[in-house]
A and B are shown apart, each in its own frame.
Chain A
Amino acid sequence: MGYFELIIACIFVNNILLAQFLGNCPFLGTSKKMETAVGMGMAVIFVLVLAGTITWVIYTFILVKFGLVYLRTIAFIVVIASLVQFVEMFLKKSIPALYAGLGIFLPLITTNCAVMGVCVLNIDKEFTFLQALVASLFYAVGFGLALVLFAGLRERTLLARVPKPLQDTSIALITAGMISLAFFAFQGMV
């Protein structure tokens, strides 16, 4: 698979949120306002690129080499948790403006299954280092795109009169279903 196909596949066809169902908690949690959605999208792009490449290196050069493949889950989550902590400390010291922008979304990323999921997918699909880097970046871009689209729609549904049992999460899920249906049209493109 060439890189162009990989990029299209990661953003549209296998969209991490709408086709693979990873990272749905922040998807529903941070999509009530456009501002928070953009913040979360940026934070995910930032962390996912780092996490995707670092876990690939650790898996290939440490776990496989020493026959510790069964420790993958523990190793990955430790890497992601410490990476998030490290990024937070680094940004606070060196780029306070960006830190203030990302705010509370950074610590939340530890339990975002999109991050862990992409790290595991990179390994399961036997990507090379460069493919893993590209896939991580564009899965994250796909996440951000879906989140921003969804936030836009959700701000509209706030103004609509929704029947009581359907309010809040319920109507949000149905809206997500509609976006997912739109993305479904990309199926078979790659």
Chain B
Amino acid sequence: MPKTLVQEFTKGLWEELPPFRLVLGLCPVLGVTTSMENGLGMGIATTFVLFGSNILVSMLRSIIPQKVRIACFIIIIASFVTIVELLMQAYTYPLYLKLGVFIPLIVVNCIVLGRAEAFAYKNKVLYSMADGLGIGIGYTLALGALGAIRELLGNGSVTVWGDLSYNLSSAFPSFQPFSFMVQAPGAFICLGLMLCFINAIGD
């Protein structure tokens, strides 16, 4: 049954929510979510690449030969990643420095290549746009949520772009920050528990 545009868009937000449902693209999920701001920034950069590469792959799908399609996808994705890298260096340099190696690594993010192969190569441009945007936004929300939880428990407060902030100690005065959460082991355990939570309410 063909899906509508809206369905293609919204499936990325829950049904195929990338890091939890598809369990793909985990490296940035674990690596950059030490704060909500980093998570959202990484999500937005990935969304841009996903959106752009989905459109281009879908437009070129009749030209790209079947045998070398993966190589073609990778070149297309790498071009968009380079665009994002240059844009971020120009406009959001502090964020670019914080995300560091993870920006060039969007090239090898399985989600981007996965959508090109599984969706954009087989579907019309408009549908691919909806798919790319939906999956991208779902990914951004997941990264933001994980970043928010880790930052809240690890630092006791959440700050996004300097002004929007929330301090946990105003609600729970005796709360002690739990710095384990913002360090490496906390990432795995926090993601594992979130996955467990999503599984539990999903069924």
Within 8 A of B (CB), among A62-96: 70-74, 76-78, 81
Known: A28-B23, A166-B196, A177-B192. A22 touches B105 (CB 8 A): yes
> Measured between alpha carbons, how far is A78 from B79 in the docked complex, in Å?
11
- Is A42 interfacial (CB-CB < 8 Å)? no
Q: Type the 1/0 row for B90-129, where 1 means its CB is closer than 8 Å to any CB of A.
A: 0000000000110011011110010000000000000000
Give the interface residue-count category, chain B. 35 or more
Q: Considering residues B23, B185, B187, which has the most beta carbons from chain A within 10 angstroms of its beta carbon? A: B185
Which residues on B sit within 8 Å (CB–CB) of A22?
Answer: 27, 31, 101, 105
Q: In the complex, how many angstroms separate the beta carbon of A166 from the nearest chain B beta carbon? A: 5
From residue A15, how far is it (CB to closest CB) to chain B in Å? 9
| Contacts known (A73-B107, A74-B79); A24 close to B26, Cβ less than 8 A | yes
- Binary contact readout A87-118 vs B (1 if CB under 8 angstroms, 0 otherwise): 00000000000000000000000111101110
Residue among A25, A81, A164 with most chain B CB within 10 A: A25
Contact A184 B105 (CB under 8 A): no
Chain A residues near B26 (CB-CB < 8 A): 21, 24-25, 28
Interface pair A73/B82, CB less than 8 Å apart: yes
Question: Separation in Å of the B49 CB from the closest CB of chain A?
Answer: 11
CB neighbours (8 Å) of B23 from chain A are 28, 169
Q: Which residue of B lies closest to A23 (CB)?
A: B27
- Neighbouring A residues of B60 by C-beta, 8 Å: none
Please classify the interface of chain B as helix (H, G, I), strand (E, B), loop, or mixed, using the class held by over half of its residues.
Answer: helix
Q: Is the beta-carbon distance between B104 and A116 smaller than 8 angstroms?
A: yes
Contact assessment for A124 and B100 in the assembled complex, using a CB-CB cutoff below 8 Å: yes
Give me the 10 closest cross-chain CB pairs, A-B, nearest first.
Answer: A173-B192, A177-B188, A177-B189, A21-B31, A165-B200, A174-B192, A165-B199, A181-B185, A180-B185, A21-B30
16 interchain pairs (CB within 8 A)?
A22-B27, A22-B31, A24-B30, A25-B27, A70-B86, A74-B75, A74-B79, A81-B71, A110-B108, A113-B108, A116-B108, A121-B101, A165-B199, A166-B196, A170-B193, A177-B192
Query: Which residues does A use to contact B, with CB under 8 Å?
Result: 18-25, 28, 70-74, 76-78, 81, 110-113, 115-117, 120-121, 124, 164-167, 169-174, 176-178, 180-181, 183-184
